[in-house]
Structure 1
Amino acid sequence: MCSPNCFASENNLSGKEKRTVIILSIIFVVVFSGFDGMQNLQSTLNNESGRGVISLSVVYGCFVLSSFFAPSFIRVLTAKGCLIICCVSHVVYAASNLYPVFWTLLSASAFVGLTSGALWTSQGMYISQCAISFSQTKNVPVKEIFGKFHGIFYFSYAFPRILGNSLSSIILMQSHYNETTTNSSETGEIITCGADLCPEMSMAQVSLEEPDPLTVKILMAAFTTLSIIGLFLCIFLLPPLPITVTSSQKSVCRKMLSSSCSCLRLNTDVAMILFIPSVVLFSFVESFSWIDIPKAYISCPFGVEFVGFFMALNGVMNGISSFLLPRLANRIGRKYVMASLIIGITAVHVGFLVWTTTDDGLPQIIGIIAVHGLLEGGFCTLLVALLSFMYAENTDASFASFTTWKALGNTVNIGLAYYLCERSRLYIIFALCTLSIISYVALDIHLQKKTKLTEVDYEEENETINVELRGAEDSSDKK
């Protein structure tokens, strides 16, 4: 956690903080518009042999490994260098979906996953260093700036869902779909969608209609173009972060070993241990919106062409909450907002559990998906803002730990989608909600005690300095 004088380092970003945050946000909007659109369609368009879900599990499985080594790569390649490589990997991933067979999807997925740890760790470092610099320059409490800057980023990060998913629905609407009724009972109830959907069910049972292949290729070409634009923006517009460790100070091998060890040590800290359940909960909530909502609650009852519009709505609500909830937390207290979010997440997944998938159930599922996006966006923003404040002096290792646990949760949940029915996985989320609320209450108590101790130490240090100064003055007067 940040002490009162932990920000006394040289201010290298003075006057460029907001501009840097905005440029970084635009890059993520452009690159992830394509990636998010493809991600939400994998479980439907590449449903054969489960290759879409398997490819996503490869992405996040490799993400776990790359997150552990992210600080090492960032110290060697710099944060901007890592971001450029990550943009290249997203271009390759988008291009692989033009010819989506197992070997192209899996190799491109591994490339994305192996660079994603450095991507998100670099993003966290950019936002944190800009916030610290801004607080020094403007003499504003850094805790508030962490929330605002992360709010700006995650507000803009909702736009990829809006742009990418809207684009996917607009293009897929141009394709031809056959009308099917094999999944409906005489009363109009769609019997195998929603919480009743299981991975072993056949295409006929769940009525998943695939669009024309040419339409899909046009869509993937558009996503590839967006990724290329993001790459050029990163190369030419994003300023580099100051290099804090030079090659003359340590060898490359020693730097990598030191960074990895610092990431391991951080996971033994009490605050991080109490923080991890909330990160895992968020990862399950996030991957639920990528895999389960598009397939079980949109494609199955209404058709794949509606996935984009539904998930764009989810993105709109995500952005609104990312922008507003940090400001609300600054006014009424972070702990109250966080507790409310976890309770709300529990409630909205109860809605997914009990929702009856009928032909006229469109308004209900729209409302549930909108609330899900609202809670997901706010929860993520407050988590990363809290992490920035807890470990402001060790941002690379803290964000590497965050992305490692987040990727691990995503990998587990996506892997479970290949084996468990929706109902069983919803029960797992309920268990995580319970664990998360308990651990967060304990974390808040721990941070309050630690803050008081830090403030006492700081006051004692100042008092000691004042006593020494008075003693020096008295000695001078006697002379």
Structure 2
Amino acid sequence: NGLGARRALVVGTSGYPLFILANLVPTWYTMVPASLYLGFTASLIWVGQGTYLSSAALSHARENSLPEGQTLGNFNGEFWGAYASTQVIGNLISLALLRNGKDGGSVTGKYLLFVVFLGCMIIGIVLMCLLSKRDEKRHNDSTHSSFGAMLKYIVAPLKDQKMILLIPLIAYSGLQQAFVWAVFTKSIVSPVLGISGVGGAMAIYGASDAVCSLVAGRFISGLHSATLIVSVGAILQAAVLFWLLLFYSPMEGLVSAAVPLFIGALWGVGDGVLNTQLNALLGLLFKDVKEAAFAQLMVWQSGAMAVIFFLSPSITLHAMLILMATALFISFGSFLLLTLVGVEKPSTMRV
């Protein structure tokens, strides 16, 4: 809020090249500080992203007399579609540069890979510096004139019924992202396709995610349309979870090799749906407190990701699938309750 969305985006990028540089000399003393700093800057860049994109969409809608819900859906669909496409591009680059190495690539290949990623990051920073000014509503300094005032601003969204009902789905969106990174690749892809097959499976996941994001963004017009789209994604992910829980066992053969790829494609649909719909709905329902709303998104999403990464080394795949299925059931039920309440008016919270 103090920096403004555009500055937050630029400052937030600083953690990513530092983290990439740390990977060139991976030690405890380089990776841990770089990871801590990346976590801090990631909060800036992703809260800034949600705030800026929503401001840009709403501003564009007003200037061109377009429906706000549909415009937010289009903007988020295009952004998250482009974002998910990096899963395809990044994994193909990794596959190309590391294909001749043993156990994940040669030292030379890894260095070249990180240098390529660093170049992409520098291009991204330059582009963010060129962002145009949009309708960024800045709070005055009195918002943080005291610790009490700052605390009141932080917890303000939690007083809104809409946010309370959205939080379980926000948390699940973090759980399902971490699940595909930490569990799916290790316990489902690698046993069947080997480590070398992870890149291909994740590329298919990213392609499905990108296409679904673009398509889902075109169809949102408000809470009820978002509910229908989220329902499709939730049903697909529930089907995957219950099939893995009840029927899946690694086998040999062509059909078995295709299973992880198919699962990745279905899971990408759910991720694309959640990213576009949650971000569009937060921009639509919390127009006056976008910074606080997207901050809540990062708090619950990142916290849920951390839970999966902490648990994955110490619990079985069966237990993890039960946890995911339970979380999906609770979060989707809460989201349906939000639809029944039928609150689509912008938030009027006072901080």
Of structures 1 and 2, the larger Rg is shown by: 1
1:274 corresponds to 2:165? yes
1:446 corresponds to 2:337? no
User: Which runs of 5 or more residues in structure 1 are unaligned?
Assistant: 1-74, 177-208, 455-479
Task: Please list, as runs of the form range in 1=range in 2, the aligned pairs for 1:55-70 lying within 5 A after superposition.
Answer: none
Name the CA shift for 1:339/1:294 in 2 (closer, same or farther; >3 Å): same
Tell me if the contact between 2:46 and 2:298 (Cα under 8 Å) persists in the aligned partners. yes
Task: Tell me, in whole angstroms, the C-alpha distance in 2 between the residues paired with 1:98 and 1:346.
Answer: 39
AA of the residue aligned to 2:185: P
- Please state whether the residue corresponding to 1:425 is helix, strand or coil: helix
TM-score norm. by structure 1 comes to 0.67
TM-score norm. by structure 2 comes to 0.90
Name the CA shift for 1:232/1:109 in 2 (closer, same or farther; >3 Å): same
Counterpart for residue 38 of structure 2: 112
CA displacement, residues 102-149 of structure 1 (integer Å, 9 cap, x when unaligned): 222111111110111111111111111111111211212211111111
AA of the residue aligned to 2:251: T
Task: Tell me, in whole angstroms, the C-alpha distance in 2 between the residues paired with 1:415 and 1:145.
Answer: 38
Task: Please list, as runs of the form range in 1=range in 2, the aligned pairs for 1:320-335 lying within 5 A after superposition.
Answer: 320-330=211-221, 333-335=225-227
Counterpart for residue 342 of structure 1: 234
1:157 corresponds to 2:83? yes
Counterpart for residue 250 of structure 2: 357
AA of the residue aligned to 1:125: T
Task: Please list, as runs of the form range in 1=range in 2, the aligned pairs for 1:118-133 lying within 5 A after superposition.
Answer: 118-133=44-59
Task: Tell me, in whole angstroms, the C-alpha distance in 2 between the residues paired with 1:138 and 1:281.
Answer: 35
1:250 corresponds to 2:145? no
Identity %: 23
Aligned residues: CA RMSD: 2.4
Task: Tell me, in whole angstroms, the C-alpha distance in 1 between the residues paired with 2:43 and 2:151.
Answer: 13
1:288 corresponds to 2:179? yes
Task: Tell me, in whole angstroms, the C-alpha distance in 1 between the residues paired with 2:138 and 2:218.
Answer: 34
CA displacement, residues 394-438 of structure 1 (integer Å, 9 cap, x when unaligned): 111111111111111111111111321222111101101110121
AA of the residue aligned to 1:265: A
Superposed displacement of residue 241, structure 1: 4.2
Counterpart for residue 275 of structure 2: 380
Tell me if the contact between 2:56 and 2:135 (Cα under 8 Å) persists in the aligned partners. no
Task: Tell me, in whole angstroms, the C-alpha distance in 2 between the residues paired with 1:99 and 1:220.
Answer: 11
AA of the residue aligned to 1:159: S
AA of the residue aligned to 1:422: L
Name the CA shift for 1:256/1:392 in 2 (closer, same or farther; >3 Å): farther
Superposed displacement of residue 301, structure 1: 3.0
Name the CA shift for 1:311/1:270 in 2 (closer, same or farther; >3 Å): same
Task: Tell me, in whole angstroms, the C-alpha distance in 2 between the residues paired with 1:320 and 1:280.
Answer: 23
Task: Please list, as runs of the form range in 1=range in 2, the aligned pairs for 1:69-218 lying within 5 A after superposition.
Answer: 75-176=1-102, 209-218=103-112
Task: Tell me, in whole angstroms, the C-alpha distance in 2 between the residues paired with 1:244 and 1:133.
Answer: 11
Tell me if the contact between 1:322 and 1:381 (Cα under 8 Å) persists in the aligned partners. yes
Tell me if the contact between 1:343 and 1:433 (Cα under 8 Å) persists in the aligned partners. no
AA of the residue aligned to 1:99: V
Tell me if the contact between 2:192 and 2:257 (Cα under 8 Å) persists in the aligned partners. no
- Please state whether the residue corresponding to 1:171 is helix, strand or coil: helix
For 2:131, which of 238, 241, 245 is the aligned residue? 238
**Residues matched between the structures, number:** 343
Tell me if the contact between 1:335 and 1:444 (Cα under 8 Å) persists in the aligned partners. yes
More off after superposition, 75-84 vs 407-416: 75-84
Task: Tell me, in whole angstroms, the C-alpha distance in 2 between the residues paired with 1:378 and 1:87.
Answer: 25
Task: Please list, as runs of the form range in 1=range in 2, the aligned pairs for 1:33-48 lying within 5 A after superposition.
Answer: none
Task: Tell me, in whole angstroms, the C-alpha distance in 2 between the residues paired with 1:254 and 1:241.
Answer: 26
Name the CA shift for 1:76/1:98 in 2 (closer, same or farther; >3 Å): same
CA displacement, residues 161-208 of structure 1 (integer Å, 9 cap, x when unaligned): 1111111111121214xxxxxxxxxxxxxxxxxxxxxxxxxxxxxxxx
Task: Tell me, in whole angstroms, the C-alpha distance in 1 between the residues paired with 2:49 and 2:68.
Answer: 18
